[in-house]
Structure 1
């Protein structure tokens, strides 16, 4: 067995803990070329994006001590993500088959096991959970218990990232979304997630619903139409940057990481999330996600790349009233 005890996790670290699945995405493109394997899983992608930005982040997941599991760990560590030792708990590492269509969107088929051997004690500034880990048992109960036991003033971030093939009954999924949202500070979901959970409601009604349930800030991403972000102080729509989309794998996860990164470095954004604060959060997250969609797979930006994009955005807003955020 490989020794995994050198990952520094557990003490208060003024950083971020991500709890959730890590797996191997087996990507099949529309041109029917040979499948390519990438490290994936929504929470793992969020951790990867935060690590690329230089944030102090650790991940508690469930993988096996097999070739794919070690590849996941090496990939995350290479971007500065610490692996919780308890993550090595499966007999076989999970996979997801991602079929990329001609328009760059992805459709998934899953072979996933999700469990946690024990409920973690969260001692970080921010904890993020989401996707399969929030819904698939037996791990979902452990995730909820961990959040319920998370002390103030830890910021809780949640991205449902619904996978209909795995979450099962909508009523049960809604109950879990309500339970986690009641504890959360930040909730981010896509318009597809919103439609599955609340058919026919529309983004504004979904934002209102989640704010009433307990979230402080809610973001609904809408692809090329940007993102709607709301709080008790109002709502803003942040436009999507004008970029050439290579594929959308990891885009929503990078958006989540962008929100978390902004709050980590500017905690005041959550204290009174007015229109200016919401716009700042949205632009930061959208700029990060726009870099990811221009590259194949979940390949989020570095801090230097994001800073460059945000500087370009500032110049564009001054000269073209916000029409286009990138000079390319």
Structure 2
């Protein structure tokens, strides 16, 4: 399973395939403009590769300099970019303009369309998707088709990573989300995602609702308040790892990557409470490493292992 974060050519069988957007985050301040690799699914793929997991990404980038930068960023970590991923004329961008008083304005230039390869012939152990890719047509239809094809052949994980500015009506977005939950096994949301999708429900109620839609595991992260992990048989809260927070960019994607690593390495315990505790602790440790540094700095396998070894045993709460 492990590649130690080194680049590798596309393989016939990958442990994880991620389907979703890779884009450039453009941040403009009075001091100037900076560009950074972005896109939640691309960040998860990048994080998985840094954790030593053989990972492929199917995305929709342009044949331009920004696409070159994204490809170098991803393959440099060991991500295998799947055929057809550079099919657009230009690479999508998300632009944040920060004024002198700290207020921000946002603009998106995003095109999402994919033609998925036949993954059913050599299905991965885990298929992950989410974010803009699961909502924005025409590519969202392709994502749903892949999930329908592979739902009985691998673990499917889903993080909606809600971006209200890019969605239709609330009712339309919730319907799309729930249709995909029906096709997945593991669903992870932030408390902000949960609050937007289900403002009338508490976090535990939301987790119960997601399980009722067919998911095997519902995970809701709540920043410093920890994360809730629930199955039809058990529910527990894993505390966040105490750390000095520099910024929270990439924390959710780091948590998701480590959660997938935990699913791959959990052994024969299924989703028993002890396994949920291990999954939550590993993911919390990864997120803590990311928030303690500037930018979306997702940990390596060695960094995560060292963090877990030096932490006191976290005490989950039923």
TM over 0.5: yes
1:91 aligned to 2:89? yes
Map of 2:205 onto structure 1: 205
Return the offset for 1:274. Answer: 2.5
CA distance in 2, matches of 1:144, 1:7: 27
Deviation, structure 1 residue 98: 4.1
Kept in 2: contact 1:7–1:85 (CA 8 A): no
Match of 2:61 among 21, 39, 63: 63
Residues 55 and 261 in structure 1, CA contact (< 8 A), matched pair in contact too: yes
Q: Secondary structure at the match of 1:49?
A: helix
Q: How many residues are paired up?
A: 306
Rounded Cα–Cα distance in structure 2 between residues aligned with 1:278 and 1:142: 31
Give the 3-state SS of the residue equivalent to 2:275 in structure 1. Answer: helix
Instruction: Show the counterpart of 2:279.
Output: 281
Judged with a 3 Å threshold, the aligned counterparts in structure 2 of structure 1 residues 119 and 80 are, in CA distance, closer, same or farther, namely: closer
1:1-328 to structure 2, matched below 5 A, reads 7-9=9-11, 11-13=12-14, 15-28=15-28, 32-98=30-96, 109-118=107-116, 120-122=118-120, 123-150=123-150, 152-269=152-269, 271=270, 273-313=271-311, 316-317=312-313, 322=315
Following superposition, the deviation at residue 139 of structure 1 comes to 0.4
Question: Secondary structure of 2:43's match?
Answer: helix
Aligned pair in 2 of structure 1 residues 110, 292: CA closer, same or farther (>3 Å)? Answer: same
> Alpha-carbon deviation of 1:12?
2.6
Please report the TM-score for the alignment, with normalisation by the length of structure 1: 0.87
Output the CA distance in 2 between the equivalents of 1:119 and 1:274. 34
Unaligned 5+ segments in structure 1 are 1-5, 324-328
Q: CA deviation at 1:7?
A: 4.7
1: CA distance between counterparts of 2:310 and 2:34? 33
Q: Give unmatched runs, 5+ long, in structure 2.
A: 1-7
Structure 1 position 236, deviation (Å) = 0.7
TM-superposed CA distance for 1:27, in Å, is 3.0
Which residue is equivalent to 1:326?
none
Q: State the distance in 2 between where 1:152 and 1:37 align.
A: 39
Match of 1:3 in 2: none
Maintained 8 Å contact 1:94/1:113: yes
- The CA distance in 1 between the partners of 2:94 and 2:295, in whole Å, is 13
Instruction: Give me the whole-angstrom Cα distance separating, in 1, the residues matched to 2:309 and 2:243.
Output: 16
